[in-house]
Structure 1
Protein backbone atom coordinates (compact mmCIF):
# COMPACT_ATOMS: atom_id res chain seq x y z
CA UNK A 1 0.00 0.00 0.00
CA UNK A 2 1.30 3.46 -0.88
CA UNK A 3 2.34 5.65 2.03
CA UNK A 4 0.16 8.69 2.59
CA UNK A 5 1.75 12.10 3.23
CA UNK A 6 -0.01 15.18 4.61
CA UNK A 7 1.71 18.38 3.42
CA UNK A 8 0.82 21.60 5.24
CA UNK A 9 1.96 24.95 3.83
CA UNK A 10 0.21 28.22 3.01
CA UNK A 11 2.34 28.80 -0.09
CA UNK A 12 0.45 27.21 -2.98
CA UNK A 13 3.49 26.97 -5.26
CA UNK A 14 5.42 25.05 -2.61
CA UNK A 15 2.48 22.70 -2.10
CA UNK A 16 2.21 22.03 -5.82
CA UNK A 17 5.94 21.32 -6.22
CA UNK A 18 6.17 19.08 -3.13
CA UNK A 19 3.00 17.22 -4.10
CA UNK A 20 4.31 16.64 -7.63
CA UNK A 21 7.68 15.29 -6.46
CA UNK A 22 6.16 13.02 -3.82
CA UNK A 23 3.51 11.63 -6.18
CA UNK A 24 6.23 10.94 -8.73
CA UNK A 25 7.81 8.66 -6.11
CA UNK A 26 4.56 6.79 -5.54
CA UNK A 27 3.28 8.56 -2.44
CA UNK A 28 -0.33 9.54 -1.92
CA UNK A 29 -0.47 13.25 -0.97
CA UNK A 30 -3.05 15.34 0.90
CA UNK A 31 -2.52 19.09 1.26
CA UNK A 32 -3.69 21.79 3.66
CA UNK A 33 -3.02 25.54 3.66
CA UNK A 34 -4.59 26.60 6.97
CA UNK A 35 -3.55 25.38 10.40
CA UNK A 36 -7.16 25.36 11.60
CA UNK A 37 -8.00 22.43 9.30
CA UNK A 38 -5.00 20.22 9.93
CA UNK A 39 -6.12 18.21 12.96
CA UNK A 40 -9.46 17.28 11.38
CA UNK A 41 -7.75 16.32 8.12
CA UNK A 42 -5.16 14.29 10.00
CA UNK A 43 -7.79 12.31 11.92
CA UNK A 44 -9.80 11.71 8.74
CA UNK A 45 -6.92 10.74 6.42
CA UNK A 46 -4.55 9.05 8.93
CA UNK A 47 -1.33 9.92 7.05
CA UNK A 48 1.92 7.99 7.51
CA UNK A 49 3.97 11.22 7.70
CA UNK A 50 3.31 14.95 8.04
CA UNK A 51 5.34 17.71 6.34
CA UNK A 52 4.52 20.76 8.43
CA UNK A 53 5.35 24.40 7.72
CA UNK A 54 5.76 26.43 10.91
CA UNK A 55 4.44 29.79 9.65
CA UNK A 56 0.76 29.11 9.04
CA UNK A 57 -2.49 31.08 9.21
CA UNK A 58 -4.73 29.87 12.00
CA UNK A 59 -2.92 27.46 14.30
CA UNK A 60 0.87 27.69 14.03
CA UNK A 61 3.02 24.76 12.98
CA UNK A 62 4.65 24.61 16.43
CA UNK A 63 1.28 24.39 18.15
CA UNK A 64 0.05 21.79 15.65
CA UNK A 65 3.13 19.68 16.32
CA UNK A 66 2.47 19.80 20.07
CA UNK A 67 -1.21 18.87 19.59
CA UNK A 68 -0.40 16.00 17.22
CA UNK A 69 2.07 14.63 19.74
CA UNK A 70 -0.69 14.45 22.35
CA UNK A 71 -2.31 11.55 20.51
CA UNK A 72 -0.05 10.39 17.67
CA UNK A 73 3.56 9.33 17.07
CA UNK A 74 3.36 9.85 13.30
CA UNK A 75 6.66 11.15 11.87
CA UNK A 76 6.72 14.94 11.46
CA UNK A 77 9.08 16.76 9.09
CA UNK A 78 9.15 20.49 9.79
CA UNK A 79 9.45 22.85 6.85
CA UNK A 80 10.39 26.41 7.68
CA UNK A 81 12.34 29.56 6.87
CA UNK A 82 13.78 29.65 10.41
CA UNK A 83 17.47 28.79 10.24
CA UNK A 84 18.84 29.34 13.75
CA UNK A 85 20.12 26.30 15.65
CA UNK A 86 17.88 27.24 18.59
CA UNK A 87 14.83 27.08 16.30
CA UNK A 88 15.79 23.58 15.17
CA UNK A 89 16.42 22.38 18.71
CA UNK A 90 13.04 23.74 19.74
CA UNK A 91 11.43 21.89 16.84
CA UNK A 92 12.92 18.60 17.99
CA UNK A 93 12.01 19.31 21.61
CA UNK A 94 8.30 19.58 20.75
CA UNK A 95 8.32 16.32 18.80
CA UNK A 96 9.58 16.85 15.25
CA UNK A 97 11.55 14.02 13.62
CA UNK A 98 13.43 16.10 11.06
CA UNK A 99 13.76 19.69 9.94
CA UNK A 100 14.40 21.25 6.53
CA UNK A 101 14.76 24.96 5.84
CA UNK A 102 13.48 27.09 2.98
CA UNK A 103 14.58 27.43 0.25
CA UNK A 104 15.01 23.69 -0.18
CA UNK A 105 15.57 21.13 -2.87
CA UNK A 106 12.41 19.08 -3.56
CA UNK A 107 14.65 16.07 -4.25
CA UNK A 108 16.27 16.45 -0.84
CA UNK A 109 12.82 16.68 0.74
CA UNK A 110 11.79 13.41 -0.92
CA UNK A 111 15.01 11.77 0.30
CA UNK A 112 14.33 12.99 3.84
CA UNK A 113 10.79 11.59 3.69
CA UNK A 114 12.05 8.21 2.50
CA UNK A 115 14.76 8.15 5.18
CA UNK A 116 12.29 8.95 7.96
CA UNK A 117 9.86 6.26 6.80
CA UNK A 118 12.73 3.76 6.55
CA UNK A 119 13.83 4.52 10.10
CA UNK A 120 10.33 4.12 11.49
CA UNK A 121 9.61 0.78 9.79
CA UNK A 122 12.91 -1.02 10.32
CA UNK A 123 13.05 -4.72 11.13
CA UNK A 124 12.84 -5.82 14.75
CA UNK A 125 14.51 -9.08 15.75
CA UNK A 126 12.73 -11.55 17.93
CA UNK A 127 13.52 -10.19 21.42
CA UNK A 128 10.15 -8.65 21.67
CA UNK A 129 8.96 -7.53 25.11
CA UNK A 130 11.46 -6.13 27.60
CA UNK A 131 10.44 -5.36 31.18
CA UNK A 132 12.33 -3.37 33.80
CA UNK A 133 11.97 -2.79 37.54
CA UNK A 134 9.05 -5.19 38.07
CA UNK A 135 7.13 -3.94 35.05
CA UNK A 136 7.61 -0.28 35.92
CA UNK A 137 8.77 0.13 32.31
CA UNK A 138 7.69 -2.32 29.59
CA UNK A 139 8.91 -1.95 26.00
CA UNK A 140 7.41 -4.02 23.18
CA UNK A 141 9.85 -3.72 20.29
CA UNK A 142 7.64 -5.41 17.73
CA UNK A 143 4.47 -3.47 18.55
CA UNK A 144 6.44 -0.22 19.07
CA UNK A 145 4.70 0.39 22.39
CA UNK A 146 6.00 1.57 25.74
CA UNK A 147 4.17 1.34 29.06
CA UNK A 148 5.10 3.20 32.23
CA UNK A 149 3.39 1.84 35.34
CA UNK A 150 0.89 0.12 33.06
CA UNK A 151 0.00 3.27 31.10
CA UNK A 152 0.87 3.56 27.40
CA UNK A 153 3.49 6.26 26.76
CA UNK A 154 3.32 8.01 23.39
CA UNK A 155 6.86 8.28 21.97
CA UNK A 156 7.85 9.88 18.69
CA UNK A 157 9.59 7.60 16.16
CA UNK A 158 13.00 9.08 16.99
CA UNK A 159 12.41 8.80 20.73
CA UNK A 160 11.44 5.16 20.35
CA UNK A 161 14.45 4.43 18.19
CA UNK A 162 16.83 5.99 20.73
CA UNK A 163 15.24 3.98 23.52
CA UNK A 164 15.44 0.80 21.46
CA UNK A 165 19.13 1.32 20.70
CA UNK A 166 19.93 1.97 24.37
CA UNK A 167 17.98 -0.94 25.85
CA UNK A 168 19.44 -3.39 23.33
CA UNK A 169 22.88 -2.38 24.57
CA UNK A 170 22.61 -2.04 28.37
CA UNK A 171 25.53 -0.22 29.99
CA UNK A 172 27.12 0.56 26.65
CA UNK A 173 27.81 4.28 26.40
CA UNK A 174 26.78 5.90 23.11
CA UNK A 175 28.20 9.27 22.10
CA UNK A 176 25.83 11.87 20.69
CA UNK A 177 27.45 11.39 17.28
CA UNK A 178 26.80 7.63 17.40
CA UNK A 179 23.16 8.13 18.31
CA UNK A 180 22.68 10.73 15.56
CA UNK A 181 24.20 8.33 13.03
CA UNK A 182 22.04 5.40 14.15
CA UNK A 183 18.81 7.38 14.54
CA UNK A 184 19.01 10.11 11.90
CA UNK A 185 21.29 8.39 9.37
CA UNK A 186 24.83 8.84 8.04
CA UNK A 187 23.92 11.84 5.92
CA UNK A 188 22.18 13.84 8.65
CA UNK A 189 23.64 17.34 8.88
CA UNK A 190 22.33 18.43 12.23
CA UNK A 191 23.54 19.27 15.69
CA UNK A 192 24.67 17.17 18.64
CA UNK A 193 22.10 18.96 20.78
CA UNK A 194 19.35 17.33 18.72
CA UNK A 195 19.95 14.14 20.69
CA UNK A 196 19.87 16.06 23.98
CA UNK A 197 16.38 17.35 23.10
CA UNK A 198 15.14 13.82 22.37
CA UNK A 199 16.72 12.47 25.57
CA UNK A 200 15.06 15.22 27.60
CA UNK A 201 11.66 14.32 26.14
CA UNK A 202 12.24 10.61 26.74
CA UNK A 203 13.12 11.17 30.37
CA UNK A 204 10.01 13.25 30.91
CA UNK A 205 7.96 10.31 29.65
CA UNK A 206 9.64 7.29 31.29
CA UNK A 207 11.45 8.53 34.40
CA UNK A 208 9.88 9.19 37.81
CA UNK A 209 12.46 11.89 38.51
CA UNK A 210 14.13 13.46 35.49
CA UNK A 211 16.88 14.94 37.68
CA UNK A 212 17.77 11.47 38.97
CA UNK A 213 17.03 9.17 36.02
CA UNK A 214 16.98 5.41 36.50
CA UNK A 215 16.82 4.34 32.87
CA UNK A 216 18.64 6.85 30.67
CA UNK A 217 21.89 7.81 32.31
CA UNK A 218 24.23 10.63 31.30
CA UNK A 219 27.91 9.76 31.17
CA UNK A 220 29.39 13.22 31.44
CA UNK A 221 31.79 14.16 28.68
CA UNK A 222 30.84 11.07 26.66
CA UNK A 223 27.13 10.51 26.03
CA UNK A 224 24.28 8.31 27.23
CA UNK A 225 23.61 4.73 28.32
CA UNK A 226 20.68 2.66 29.54
CA UNK A 227 20.70 1.83 33.22
CA UNK A 228 23.55 1.06 35.57
CA UNK A 229 23.25 -2.70 35.74
CA UNK A 230 20.31 -2.69 38.16
CA UNK A 231 17.36 -2.12 35.82
Structure 2
Protein backbone atom coordinates (compact mmCIF):
# COMPACT_ATOMS: atom_id res chain seq x y z
CA UNK A 1 0.00 0.00 0.00
CA UNK A 2 1.38 3.39 -1.00
CA UNK A 3 1.52 5.91 1.85
CA UNK A 4 0.81 9.58 1.15
CA UNK A 5 1.42 12.63 3.33
CA UNK A 6 -1.09 15.40 2.54
CA UNK A 7 0.06 18.86 3.65
CA UNK A 8 -2.48 21.68 3.40
CA UNK A 9 -3.86 24.30 5.78
CA UNK A 10 -7.41 23.95 4.39
CA UNK A 11 -9.27 21.54 6.64
CA UNK A 12 -11.93 20.74 4.04
CA UNK A 13 -9.36 19.91 1.38
CA UNK A 14 -7.33 17.71 3.74
CA UNK A 15 -10.49 15.82 4.65
CA UNK A 16 -11.57 15.44 1.02
CA UNK A 17 -8.18 14.15 -0.05
CA UNK A 18 -8.02 11.74 2.88
CA UNK A 19 -11.45 10.30 2.00
CA UNK A 20 -10.81 10.07 -1.75
CA UNK A 21 -7.30 8.63 -1.50
CA UNK A 22 -8.18 6.19 1.29
CA UNK A 23 -11.09 4.91 -0.82
CA UNK A 24 -8.58 4.16 -3.58
CA UNK A 25 -6.26 2.14 -1.37
CA UNK A 26 -3.76 4.77 -0.22
CA UNK A 27 -2.61 5.08 3.40
CA UNK A 28 -3.05 8.77 4.18
CA UNK A 29 -1.43 10.98 6.82
CA UNK A 30 -2.25 14.67 6.98
CA UNK A 31 -0.49 17.80 8.25
CA UNK A 32 -1.84 21.34 8.47
CA UNK A 33 1.46 23.27 8.48
CA UNK A 34 5.12 22.99 7.60
CA UNK A 35 6.45 22.05 11.02
CA UNK A 36 4.04 19.13 11.44
CA UNK A 37 4.71 18.09 7.83
CA UNK A 38 8.45 17.81 8.48
CA UNK A 39 7.81 15.85 11.66
CA UNK A 40 5.42 13.48 9.89
CA UNK A 41 7.85 12.99 7.01
CA UNK A 42 10.69 12.15 9.42
CA UNK A 43 8.66 9.78 11.59
CA UNK A 44 6.17 8.20 9.17
CA UNK A 45 8.40 7.99 6.07
CA UNK A 46 5.60 8.34 3.51
CA UNK A 47 6.14 7.17 -0.06
CA UNK A 48 4.77 10.41 -1.54
CA UNK A 49 4.04 13.96 -0.41
CA UNK A 50 1.20 16.21 -1.61
CA UNK A 51 2.26 19.71 -0.58
CA UNK A 52 0.54 23.09 -0.59
CA UNK A 53 2.91 26.04 -0.84
CA UNK A 54 0.84 28.57 1.11
CA UNK A 55 1.30 27.19 4.61
CA UNK A 56 0.71 29.31 7.74
CA UNK A 57 4.13 28.85 9.35
CA UNK A 58 6.72 27.89 6.73
CA UNK A 59 6.48 28.53 3.02
CA UNK A 60 6.11 25.31 1.07
CA UNK A 61 9.30 26.05 -0.86
CA UNK A 62 11.24 25.86 2.41
CA UNK A 63 9.55 22.56 3.24
CA UNK A 64 10.65 21.16 -0.12
CA UNK A 65 14.19 22.44 0.44
CA UNK A 66 14.39 20.80 3.88
CA UNK A 67 12.94 17.48 2.69
CA UNK A 68 15.46 17.35 -0.11
CA UNK A 69 18.36 17.50 2.36
CA UNK A 70 17.60 13.91 3.40
CA UNK A 71 14.88 12.37 1.20
CA UNK A 72 14.21 11.65 -2.47
CA UNK A 73 10.51 10.87 -1.97
CA UNK A 74 8.32 12.27 -4.78
CA UNK A 75 6.79 15.65 -3.94
CA UNK A 76 3.65 16.77 -5.78
CA UNK A 77 2.87 20.44 -5.23
CA UNK A 78 -0.79 21.46 -4.98
CA UNK A 79 -0.92 25.25 -5.15
CA UNK A 80 -3.14 28.19 -6.04
CA UNK A 81 -0.03 30.04 -7.23
CA UNK A 82 -0.24 30.06 -11.01
CA UNK A 83 2.70 32.26 -12.03
CA UNK A 84 5.34 30.47 -14.11
CA UNK A 85 7.99 31.78 -11.70
CA UNK A 86 6.35 29.96 -8.80
CA UNK A 87 6.18 26.71 -10.75
CA UNK A 88 9.82 27.01 -11.81
CA UNK A 89 10.99 27.78 -8.27
CA UNK A 90 9.16 24.76 -6.84
CA UNK A 91 10.50 22.40 -9.49
CA UNK A 92 14.03 23.77 -9.22
CA UNK A 93 13.93 23.37 -5.43
CA UNK A 94 13.02 19.70 -5.72
CA UNK A 95 9.32 19.19 -6.45
CA UNK A 96 8.53 16.48 -9.00
CA UNK A 97 5.14 17.74 -10.21
CA UNK A 98 3.22 21.00 -9.92
CA UNK A 99 -0.59 20.92 -9.93
CA UNK A 100 -2.53 24.19 -9.75
CA UNK A 101 -5.69 24.62 -7.70
CA UNK A 102 -8.50 24.01 -8.37
CA UNK A 103 -7.72 20.58 -9.75
CA UNK A 104 -9.72 17.48 -10.65
CA UNK A 105 -9.33 14.22 -8.77
CA UNK A 106 -8.57 12.38 -12.01
CA UNK A 107 -5.65 14.72 -12.69
CA UNK A 108 -4.25 14.21 -9.20
CA UNK A 109 -4.61 10.44 -9.38
CA UNK A 110 -2.74 10.44 -12.70
CA UNK A 111 0.11 12.35 -11.06
CA UNK A 112 0.16 9.84 -8.21
CA UNK A 113 0.34 6.93 -10.64
CA UNK A 114 3.29 8.54 -12.41
CA UNK A 115 5.07 9.03 -9.08
CA UNK A 116 4.35 5.42 -8.08
CA UNK A 117 5.85 4.14 -11.35
CA UNK A 118 8.98 6.17 -10.66
CA UNK A 119 9.18 4.69 -7.18
CA UNK A 120 8.80 1.15 -8.50
CA UNK A 121 11.59 1.66 -11.04
CA UNK A 122 14.01 3.63 -8.88
CA UNK A 123 13.61 2.34 -5.34
CA UNK A 124 14.31 -1.27 -4.36
CA UNK A 125 12.35 -2.62 -1.44
CA UNK A 126 14.05 -1.69 1.81
CA UNK A 127 15.07 -4.76 3.81
CA UNK A 128 14.09 -5.04 7.44
CA UNK A 129 16.57 -3.02 9.45
CA UNK A 130 17.45 -4.25 12.93
CA UNK A 131 20.29 -2.53 14.79
CA UNK A 132 21.77 -4.38 17.76
CA UNK A 133 24.05 -3.20 20.53
CA UNK A 134 25.16 -5.00 23.68
CA UNK A 135 22.58 -3.00 25.64
CA UNK A 136 19.54 -2.66 23.38
CA UNK A 137 18.06 -3.56 19.99
CA UNK A 138 16.27 -1.23 17.59
CA UNK A 139 13.93 -2.75 15.00
CA UNK A 140 13.58 0.21 12.67
CA UNK A 141 11.04 -1.42 10.37
CA UNK A 142 8.68 -2.29 13.22
CA UNK A 143 9.55 0.81 15.29
CA UNK A 144 10.25 -1.35 18.34
CA UNK A 145 13.09 -0.87 20.84
CA UNK A 146 14.01 -3.61 23.31
CA UNK A 147 16.37 -3.61 26.26
CA UNK A 148 17.07 -6.94 27.87
CA UNK A 149 14.33 -8.44 25.73
CA UNK A 150 11.72 -6.02 27.12
CA UNK A 151 10.06 -3.43 24.90
CA UNK A 152 10.95 0.15 25.79
CA UNK A 153 8.30 2.82 25.34
CA UNK A 154 9.54 5.87 23.45
CA UNK A 155 7.61 9.03 22.70
CA UNK A 156 7.11 10.00 19.08
CA UNK A 157 9.85 12.62 19.30
CA UNK A 158 12.29 10.29 21.06
CA UNK A 159 11.74 7.74 18.29
CA UNK A 160 12.25 10.35 15.55
CA UNK A 161 15.64 11.29 17.03
CA UNK A 162 16.74 7.71 17.66
CA UNK A 163 15.73 6.55 14.21
CA UNK A 164 17.79 9.21 12.46
CA UNK A 165 20.81 8.29 14.57
CA UNK A 166 20.60 4.50 14.16
CA UNK A 167 19.98 4.77 10.42
CA UNK A 168 23.36 6.52 10.19
CA UNK A 169 25.68 4.57 12.52
CA UNK A 170 28.99 6.24 13.36
CA UNK A 171 27.97 9.31 11.36
CA UNK A 172 27.92 12.75 12.91
CA UNK A 173 24.49 14.36 12.54
CA UNK A 174 24.34 18.05 13.26
CA UNK A 175 22.00 19.36 15.90
CA UNK A 176 20.60 21.82 13.37
CA UNK A 177 19.65 19.00 11.02
CA UNK A 178 17.83 17.12 13.77
CA UNK A 179 16.02 20.23 14.96
CA UNK A 180 14.84 21.37 11.53
CA UNK A 181 13.85 17.88 10.41
CA UNK A 182 11.90 16.98 13.54
CA UNK A 183 10.52 20.33 14.73
CA UNK A 184 10.89 22.64 11.72
CA UNK A 185 13.29 25.33 10.42
CA UNK A 186 12.22 27.89 13.01
CA UNK A 187 13.61 25.61 15.75
CA UNK A 188 17.14 25.46 14.30
CA UNK A 189 18.69 27.37 17.22
CA UNK A 190 16.91 25.54 20.07
CA UNK A 191 19.63 23.08 20.97
CA UNK A 192 18.24 22.64 24.48
CA UNK A 193 15.39 20.60 22.97
CA UNK A 194 17.90 17.96 21.86
CA UNK A 195 19.73 17.99 25.18
CA UNK A 196 16.47 17.21 26.98
CA UNK A 197 15.42 14.41 24.63
CA UNK A 198 18.87 12.83 24.44
CA UNK A 199 18.96 12.74 28.24
CA UNK A 200 15.61 10.94 28.21
CA UNK A 201 16.81 8.43 25.60
CA UNK A 202 19.97 7.75 27.59
CA UNK A 203 17.98 7.11 30.76
CA UNK A 204 15.90 4.56 28.87
CA UNK A 205 18.66 2.86 26.86
CA UNK A 206 22.17 3.46 28.18
CA UNK A 207 23.64 1.17 30.90
CA UNK A 208 25.12 4.29 32.53
CA UNK A 209 23.15 7.34 31.36
CA UNK A 210 25.71 9.77 32.83
CA UNK A 211 28.48 8.05 30.84
CA UNK A 212 26.83 7.27 27.48
CA UNK A 213 28.43 4.62 25.27
CA UNK A 214 26.03 4.57 22.33
CA UNK A 215 24.25 7.91 22.05
CA UNK A 216 27.15 10.32 21.95
CA UNK A 217 27.37 14.10 21.93
CA UNK A 218 30.03 15.84 19.88
CA UNK A 219 30.16 19.20 21.73
CA UNK A 220 29.23 22.15 19.59
CA UNK A 221 28.65 19.99 16.53
CA UNK A 222 26.00 17.31 16.89
CA UNK A 223 25.28 13.71 17.84
CA UNK A 224 26.46 10.26 16.84
CA UNK A 225 25.29 6.68 17.35
CA UNK A 226 28.14 4.25 18.11
CA UNK A 227 26.74 0.70 17.85
CA UNK A 228 30.06 -1.05 18.62
CA UNK A 229 30.76 0.72 21.88
TM-score with structure 2 length normalisation?
0.52
Residue number in structure 2 paired with 1:19: 18
Which contiguous aligned blocks of 4+ residues in structure 1 show a shift greater than 3 angstroms? none
Determine if the alignment matches structure 1 residue 93 to structure 2 residue 92: yes
RMSD of aligned residue pairs (Cα, Å): 1.4
Shift of 1:46: 0.4
**Structure 1 segment 153-172 matched on structure 2, within 5 A:** none
Deviation per residue, 1:95-118 (Å, 9 max, x gap) = 000010001112211221111111
**Structure 2, unaligned runs of 5 or more:** 124-229
Cα distance in 1 for residues equivalent to 2:38 and 2:82: 26
Specify the SS of the correspondent of 1:74. Answer: coil
Cα distance in 2 for residues equivalent to 1:102 and 1:123: 29
Determine if the alignment matches structure 1 residue 70 to structure 2 residue 69: yes
**Structure 1 segment 80-229 matched on structure 2, within 5 A:** 80-122=79-121
Cα distance in 2 for residues equivalent to 1:95 and 1:123: 16
Specify the SS of the correspondent of 2:121. Answer: coil
Deviation per residue, 1:62-110 (Å, 9 max, x gap) = 1000000001001000010011122111111000000100011122112
Deviation per residue, 1:178-222 (Å, 9 max, x gap) = xxxxxxxxxxxxxxxxxxxxxxxxxxxxxxxxxxxxxxxxxxxxx
**Would the alpha carbon gap of residues 9 and 123 (structure 1) be closer, same or farther in structure 2, given more than 3 Å must change?**
closer
Deviation per residue, 1:136-156 (Å, 9 max, x gap) = xxxxxxxxxxxxxxxxxxxxx
Shift of 1:39: 1.2
Residue number in structure 1 paired with 2:160: none
Specify the SS of the correspondent of 2:81. Answer: coil
Deviation per residue, 1:27-68 (Å, 9 max, x gap) = 000000021211111111100000000000111111000000
**Would the alpha carbon gap of residues 91 and 123 (structure 1) be closer, same or farther in structure 2, given more than 3 Å must change?**
closer
Specify the SS of the correspondent of 2:41. Answer: helix
**Structure 1, unaligned runs of 5 or more:** 125-231
Cα distance in 2 for residues equivalent to 1:4 and 1:10: 20
Residue number in structure 1 paired with 2:29: 30
Cα distance in 2 for residues equivalent to 1:60 and 1:85: 17
Deviation per residue, 1:1-24 (Å, 9 max, x gap) = x11000000001111111111111
TM-score with structure 1 length normalisation?
0.51
* Matched pairs, number: 123
